[in-house]
Amino acid sequence: MKDKISLNNMISKYKFIILYGIFGVLTTVINIAAYGVLYEILNISNIVSTIISWIIAVVFAFVTNKIWVFESKCFDNKLLLSELKKFFGCRIATGILDLGIMFIGVDVLGGPALILKTISNLLVIVLNYVMSKFIVFGEKGKI
């Protein structure tokens, strides 16, 4: 019985991070799947496919983060638009950071691409979580 209570306490304590991780994985799958359909099946250019799949993934991430991760249940048009602008702004910022890290690390300095991409993605994930928590949806729960 103690183990069950302990597990429930852990799940409750880390609920935001667990949900963020689950929806983060789903967002990544949606991004890759949308890109695959657009680029491989519909023969849309690489850049356009990348942009469209990023938009689809960010919209999915916004909805899931708003409703389930950060439990921002207000759908007042003014608040919703404000959250949407902040969310996309933060995601654009971390997207640019990712591009910058990869360009400087790989193209300029000749570093190992996969290692740098992994480090960059970890940084982007943490920054997206923190910005969503404190800037976009307001402070709820604990990190």
Q: Please check the confidence at residue 126 and state whether its pLDDT lies above 80.
A: yes
Confidence of residue 6 (pLDDT cuts 50, 70, 90): confident
Q: What is the pLDDT of residue 39?
A: 92
Yes or no: say if 143 and 17 are a contact pair by the CB < 8 Å rule: yes
Question: Residue 86: what residue type?
Answer: K
Confidence of residue 3 (pLDDT cuts 50, 70, 90): low
In this predicted model, what pLDDT tens digit does every residue of 25-45 receive, in sequence order? Answer: 999 889 889 989 999 999 998
pTM of structure: 0.77
CB atoms within 10 A of CB 94: 19
In this predicted model, what pLDDT tens digit does every residue of 48-92 receive, in sequence order? Answer: 898 999 899 999 999 999 999 888 888 899 999 999 999 999 999
Q: What is the pLDDT of residue 143?
A: 41
| Burial degree of 65 (CB within 10 A; 0-12, 13-18, 19+) | buried
The closest of 129, 117, 98 to 21, measured between CA atoms, is: 129
